[in-house]
């Protein structure tokens, strides 16, 4: 009897333990399920994939950016609501088990692979510097943010002068002229309603904020942005906002505007007075003082030289070490390393005038044309991307809006969105 009771108790105990083991084994794969968003050619919508990552951060989802793994993929814990959101937005994802995820992390973090995992911590608060009444398609970054469903605030001169920039982590400078020359559109568009309205808005804004000239207002805005970046902010700019910004810094307190722009003549010795110690990216450039020339300076490569080579115009992304140079690696993540070029008022930068401290991210092979750059200023960073609209090669005034639903896998637009997530990355101790 005693033997029978003991046997029954032992059998029950063993059965209980077996059930618990089986339950644990079953639970491990379930709890370890991961959601992988690949960013290689399998991805159905690269641009909205960034939006999913940003949205996930707003929901306190822990996300790892797998640098150079399947073109810069994202991985996070699987949840039905995340999968549902991917389906709604048309983003391809893969549900993988814990063993597969462990294998991926092992591959990514291996010493002999040019890959790494970067933890994304929190979504940056985004501001876009853009005039009142601007439309999303007026600017490629705004268009990308709208399409990817990333939240942002619009700010302009009044907010910048009032020190509202300190409320944000990331700032984009809209296609803008910080020199006070109204985009140097005078020769071609002086009589058009939109140009007249632009001038009137800028002049009234300058007067309202206590400035005698628009050029003085834009110089003050440039200084506020400089303070934002040196204090730890992330700044991104495209097209004319890149070179005109550095010109404004170099020409502080120098009159570089002709009479039709500010009511008096420019300083004839302006070029000899430029202070390149104040600029972010460029040095030893010369200003084009002719008000009828549609170029600011020798920084920019003249777009007219390639106006008829659309199909054969490309730029190439540089390769970086994911483990040793994580920042430029993040900024260049793409499913293509050769990208179709696009023009703008500022199309590309001459390599010869870029400061040695600046990191070159992309160039046109066989030329001195640099398309994409990054640098540090104080505690912050800037990234500048030449050209106006990555999917509108020449982008003439009056062109119809670009529909990103037709370009959901655009490599050139991906580079913009890399910059959106870059500020969210947890800083890692450098290996060099």
Are 151 and 264 within one domain?
Answer: yes
Predicted confidence band of residue 16 (pLDDT cuts 50, 70, 90): very low
Asked if residue 428 is part of any domain, the answer here is no
Q: Which of 120, 143, 170 is the last residue of a domain?
A: 120
For residues 160 and 238, state if they share a domain. yes
User: Which of 95, 120, 145 represents a domain boundary (last residue)?
Assistant: 120
* pLDDT tens, position by position, 366-402: 999 999 999 999 999 999 999 999 999 987 777 788 9
Contact 247, 178 (CB under 8 A): yes
Task: Tell me what pLDDT residue 306 has.
Answer: 60
315 domain-assigned: no
- Indicate whether 319 belongs to any domain: no
Give me the pLDDT at residue 323, please.
Answer: 95
What pTM was computed for the model?
0.89
Domain hosting residue 162, numbered range = 126-307+343-401
Is residue 157 assigned to a domain? yes
Do residues 170 and 235 both lie within one domain?
A: yes
Residue 288 lies in a domain: yes
From 97, 120, 143, give the residue that closes a domain.
120
Q: Are residues 79 and 193 in the same domain?
A: no
Please compute the mean of the pLDDT values over residues 155-162 and round it to a whole number. 97
Place of tokens 């995820």: 101
Question: HEC string of the chain?
Answer: CHHHHHHHHHHHHHHHHHHHHHHHHHHHHHHCCEEEECCCCCCCCHHHHHHHHHHHHHCCCCEEEEECCCCCEEEEECCHHHHHHHHHHCCCCEEECHHHHHHHHHHHCCCCCCCEEEEECCCCCEEEECCCCCCHHHCHHHHHHHHHCCCCEEECHHHHHCCHHHHCCEEEECCCCCCCCHHHCHHHHCCCHHHHHHHHHHHHHHHHCCCCCHHHHHHHHHHHHHHHHHCCCEEEEECHHHHHHHHHHHCCCCCCCCHHHHCCCCCCCHHHHCCHHHCCCECCCCECCCCCCCCCECCECCHHHHCCCHHHCEEEECCCCCCCCHHHHHHCCCCCCEEECCCCCCCCEEHHHECCCCEEEEECCCCCEEEEEEEEECCEEEEEECCCCCCCCCCCCCCCCCCHHHCCCCHHHHHHHHHHHHHHECCCCCCC
Give me the CATH number covering residue 17: 3.30.70.790
Considering the domain boundaries, does residue 412 fall inside one? no
Asked if the model's pLDDT at residue 228 lies above 90, the reply is: yes
Mean pLDDT across the stretch 352-356? 97
Check whether residue 7 and residue 151 sit in a common domain. no
Using one digit for the tens of pLDDT, what is the confidence trace for 357-376?
999 999 999 999 999 999 99
Which CATH number fits the domain that encloses residue 267?
3.40.50
Same domain, 186 and 293: yes
> What CA–CA distance (Å, rounded) separates 399 from 397?
6
Task: Give the mean model confidence (pLDDT) for residues 329-352.
Answer: 96
pLDDT band at 25; cut points 50, 70, 90: very low
- Which pLDDT score, from 0 to 100, does residue 432 have? 44
- Can you give the pLDDT at residue 170? 97
Asked if the model's pLDDT at residue 40 lies above 50, the reply is yes
208 and 244 part of one domain: yes
Domain contains 411: no
For β-strands 126-129 and 73-77, DSSP reports them as: unpaired
Summarize pLDDT for 250-261 with one digit per residue, the tens: 999 999 999 999
Report percent pLDDT > 70 for the chain.
Answer: 90
CA separation for the pair 91, 44 (Å, rounded):
6
Residue 157: per-residue pLDDT:
97
Is the domain of 85 the same as that of 150? no
Same domain, 137 and 111: no
Q: Report how many domains make up the chain.
A: 2
Span 231-253, mean pLDDT? 97
With bands split at pLDDT 50, 70 and 90, how would you rate the model's confidence at 138? confident
Residues 347, 300 share a domain:
yes
Does one domain contain both 155 and 233?
Answer: yes
Q: Do 141 and 49 belong together in one domain? A: no
Residue at 142 is within a domain:
yes
């Amino acid at each position: 009897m005693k033997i029978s009771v003991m046997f029954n108790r032992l059998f029950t105990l063993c059965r209980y333990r077996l059930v618990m083991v089986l339950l644990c084994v079953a639970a491990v794969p379930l709890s370890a399920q991961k959601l992988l968003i690949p960013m290689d050619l399998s991805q159905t919508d690269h641009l909205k994939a960034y939006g999913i990552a940003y949205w996930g951060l707003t929901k306190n989802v822990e996300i790892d950016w797998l640098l150079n793994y399947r073109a810069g993929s994202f991985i996070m814990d699987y949840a039905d609501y995340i999968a549902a959101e991917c389906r709604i937005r048309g983003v391809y994802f893969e549900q993988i088990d814990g063993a597969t995820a462990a294998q991926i992390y092992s591959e990514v973090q291996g010493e002999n692979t040019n890959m790494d995992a970067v933890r994304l911590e929190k979504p940056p608060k985004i501001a876009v510097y853009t005039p009142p009444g601007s439309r999303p398609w007026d600017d490629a970054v705004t268009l990308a943010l709208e399409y990817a469903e990333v939240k942002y605030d619009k700010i302009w001169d009044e907010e910048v002068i009032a020190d509202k920039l300190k409320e944000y982590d990331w700032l984009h400078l809209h296609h803008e002229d910080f020199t006070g020359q109204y985009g140097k559109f005078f020769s071609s568009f002086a009589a058009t309603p939109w140009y007249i309205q632009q001038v009137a808005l800028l002049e009234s804004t300058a007067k309202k904020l206590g400035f005698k000239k628009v050029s003085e207002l834009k110089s003050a805005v440039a200084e506020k942005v400089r303070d934002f970046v040196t204090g730890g902010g992330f700044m991104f700019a495209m097209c004319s906002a890149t070179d005109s910004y550095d010109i404004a810094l170099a020409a502080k307190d120098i009159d570089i505007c002709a009479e039709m722009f500010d009511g008096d003549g420019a300083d004839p010795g302006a070029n000899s007075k430029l202070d390149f110690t104040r600029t972010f990216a460029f040095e030893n450039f010369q200003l084009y003082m002719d008000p009828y020339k549609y170029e600011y300076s020798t920084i920019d490569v003249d777009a007219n030289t390639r106006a008829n080579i659309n199909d054969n115009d490309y730029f190439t992304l540089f390769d970086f070490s994911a483990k040793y140079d994580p920042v430029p690696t993040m900024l260049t993540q793409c499913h293509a390393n050769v990208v179709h070029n696009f023009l703008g008022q500022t199309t590309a930068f001459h390599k010869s005038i870029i400061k040695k401290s600046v990191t070159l991210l992309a160039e046109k092979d066989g030329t001195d044309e640099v398309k994409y750059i990054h640098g540090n200023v104080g505690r912050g960073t800037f990234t500048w991307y030449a050209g106006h609209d990555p999917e509108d090669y020449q982008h003439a005034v009056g062109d119809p809006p670009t529909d990103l639903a037709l370009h959901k896998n655009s490599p050139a637009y991906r580079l913009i969105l890399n910059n959106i997530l870059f500020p969210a990355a947890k800083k890692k101790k450098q290996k060099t």
